[in-house]
Each structure stands twice: as structure tokens, then as C-alpha cells.
A and B are shown apart, each in its own frame.
Chain A
Amino acid sequence: MSRTAVRWARAFGHFWWDFLVGDTPELFVAILALVAVAFALRHDRVADVVTLPALAISALLGSAWRGRSRVGKRRPAQEG
């Protein structure tokens, strides 16, 4: 019974790790930064509606750039 519970807990933890972090930890960090910035700038109407999308776009571009396969270099690890 306890072994089954441990196995289920591990599988549950593994699922969330894969889902939230997986092979793109930079996107997870970016989302945490977005939450922090959203709370910090919530009273500044102009700054928040510009900063939040800009941060998300930067994270996306940075992550895609990091994931590109480069000619002449080893292809990055395969991702799911």
C-alpha cells in the first residue's frame, strides 16, 4: 500500500515537473517573473499593459532562439 502511494506520488511529481519545467526551465522562470512584475506594476496602467506582453514575448523569443538547431553543431537534445 505504502509502496503504491510512493509510486503514485512520484508519478504525480514527475508529471508536474515535466509540465511546469521540463526542457524549458527558462519559460517557467519567465512566468514567475511575469507574476512578480504584474503585482509590482499593477497600479501603473501604462507600464503593466506594455511590460507584461513585452516580457512574455522576450521569453518566447529567447527560448525559441535557445532551442534552434545550429548548422555544424550538435542538435540540442530531443524535446517532447
Chain B
Amino acid sequence: MSSATVILMLAVFGACCVEAVEALTIVLASGTTRGWRSATEGTAAALVVLGVLVGAVGVPLIHYVPIDALRVLVGALLGVLGLSWLRKAILRASGHKAKHDEDAIYQATAASLRASSGTRGRRDGLGFAVAFKGVFLEGMEVVLIVISLGASQHRLGYASAAAAAAVVVVSTVGLLVSRQLSEVPENTIKTVVGIMLTSFGLYWLGEGAGVRWPGSDLAIPVLIGVFAAVTAASVALLKTQAPAPARLGPADDGGVAT
């Protein structure tokens, strides 16, 4: 297994851990307020759909799209995702943006579900829909990362295995502690994954366009080092201009680009 493959698996594992923690919060809120059967079924249905998407989109991409075009495309996608994660991580670490708060999100989701009317029998449509939507939306970013990184290096199997491992780890820990994982250092993980995605994105974008990086795959760890240094310097610089913490509103992490 090459060093690029190991970095790829770490990036997918980290990204999937972050999204799985966020999805777990929504599933737990749905399960505790609307019943576990519907929440479990909604989660399982979303995971099946996401798995089918990886197979249906990823496999044809590998076999039918020219590798250079594929690398430019996935490099651009990873670049957009990585830079936006990094930007958010820099703003959070420097105090310009409120940190992601799983406790607050859990309370808000649970309160909203409790207030909703509807039958709370063995099968609850709202509980199913909320769990399905939460897992599906959080999972879509992981699917994009798995397909992008997996297809560009022809390592779809490794990327999928890393994503599945993250889901299993987060789900197991979540079940064991029976609550949302608010202590997971999401911002730190997101920073590391953002650095990795940006570095991979830039590398593949260049490779696909015909750029020959010095040292080939070894350019990836170098890019990771450069972006890590830039991130640290940006956080230090922006910290000097941070407003008082009380001025910051709560984080709003709905939507896809979290």
C-alpha cells in the first residue's frame, strides 16, 4: 500500500467521522423523540441509497471516463470542498465563527420533533424522514469524497472501506455512550481533513491538466505541509482581530457544506 493510499484512507476516514458524528446527532434526536424503529429504518435506508450511489456513479467513472479528465474534475471538486472546510476551520479556530455545537443541534432537533404532531406508533413517518434526510445529506459529502479520491487513484474499494470503518466506529461509540458525541474535536478533524482534501485536489487537478509534480506522489505530503503551515499562520493572524466571544452567534451547520 503506497503512502498516497494511506493518506487517502486517512482523509476519507476523517471526513466520514465528522459527517457521521453530525448524522448521529440527528438520528439520536429522532430516535429518542419519535421512536427507535423509525430512526433505525431511516438510517438504514439512507445508508443503502448512499452505498448504491457509490457503486452506480463511482464504478462507471473509473471504467469509462478518461483518467486525466476524471482527475481534473475530482481535483476541482475536492478543491472546492477542501478550501471551504479549511476556511470554516480557520474562522472557527480564530474565534470569528461559533464552533459546531452538537449539544445545541441535538436540543433544537429534539425540541422541533417533540413539537411536531403525528402518530408516534411503531412506524413514525416524521422520525423516518428526519433520520433519512440527516444521514443522506451528511453522507452525500462523504460519497463525493469517496468517489473523488477513490476514482482518481483507482482505489474505490479502499476509500469505501475507510468510510465504512468510520461509520462503524462512530455508530459503536454512539451506541455505547447512548448520546451525541459532543466531545469529538470536530474542528480539529475538519481542519486536518480540509488540508488533506485541498492538497489532494490541487495535486489531481494539476496531474489531470498535464502538470508534472516534482517527486510525483511525494508532492502530496509536501502540499499537506504547505497548507498546514498556511492554516496555522492564518489562524494566528485572524486571532489578533477576533471579536469578543459573546458577539458570535450559534453555528448554523445545516446544508451540505459543513
Binding site for A on B (CB under 8 A): 72, 76, 79-81, 83-84, 86-88, 90-91, 94, 96-97, 140-141, 144, 198, 202, 205-206, 208-214, 219, 223, 226-227, 230, 234, 238, 241-244, 247-249, 251-258
Also in contact, A67 and B97, with CB within 8 A (given A15-B140, A31-B79): yes
Docked pose: A22 CA to B249 CA in angstroms: 19
Nearest chain B residue, comparing its CB with the CB of A44: B211
Also in contact, A80 and B72, with CB within 8 A (given A24-B87, A57-B230, A60-B234): no
Residues of B within 8 A of A78 (CB): 249, 251-252
Docked pose: A38 CA to B61 CA in angstroms: 22
- Whether A22 pairs with B255 at a CB distance below 8 angstroms is yes
Residues of B within 8 A of A57 (CB): 226-227, 230
Also in contact, A56 and B202, with CB within 8 A (given A30-B83, A45-B212, A68-B241): yes
- What total of chain A residues lie within 8 Å of the partner, measured CB to CB? 40
- Whether A79 pairs with B252 at a CB distance below 8 angstroms is yes
- Whether B256 pairs with A64 at a CB distance below 8 angstroms is no
Residues of A within 8 A of B227 (CB): 56-57, 60
Report the 6 A-B pairs with minimum CB-CB distance, sorted nearest first.
A42-B210, A38-B209, A80-B255, A48-B211, A78-B252, A68-B96
Residues of B within 8 A of A61 (CB): 230, 234
- Whether A64 pairs with B238 at a CB distance below 8 angstroms is yes
Residues of A within 8 A of B252 (CB): 78-80
Secondary structure of the A side of the interface? Answer: helix
- Whether B257 pairs with A22 at a CB distance below 8 angstroms is yes
- Whether B91 pairs with A68 at a CB distance below 8 angstroms is yes
18 contacts between A and B (CB under 8 A): A18-B257, A19-B141, A19-B256, A39-B209, A42-B210, A42-B211, A45-B214, A48-B206, A49-B206, A49-B219, A53-B202, A53-B223, A60-B87, A63-B83, A63-B87, A68-B94, A70-B241, A70-B243
Tell me, rounded to whole Å, the shortest Cβ–Cβ distance linking A22 to chain B: 5
Residues of B within 8 A of A69 (CB): 96-97, 242-243, 247-248
Tell me, rounded to whole Å, the shortest Cβ–Cβ distance linking B154 to chain A: 21
Docked pose: A68 CA to B92 CA in angstroms: 10
Task: Tell me which of B205, B211, B234 contacts A49 (CB under 8 A).
Answer: B211
Tell me, rounded to whole Å, the shortest Cβ–Cβ distance linking A4 to chain B: 16
Residues of B within 8 A of A28 (CB): 80
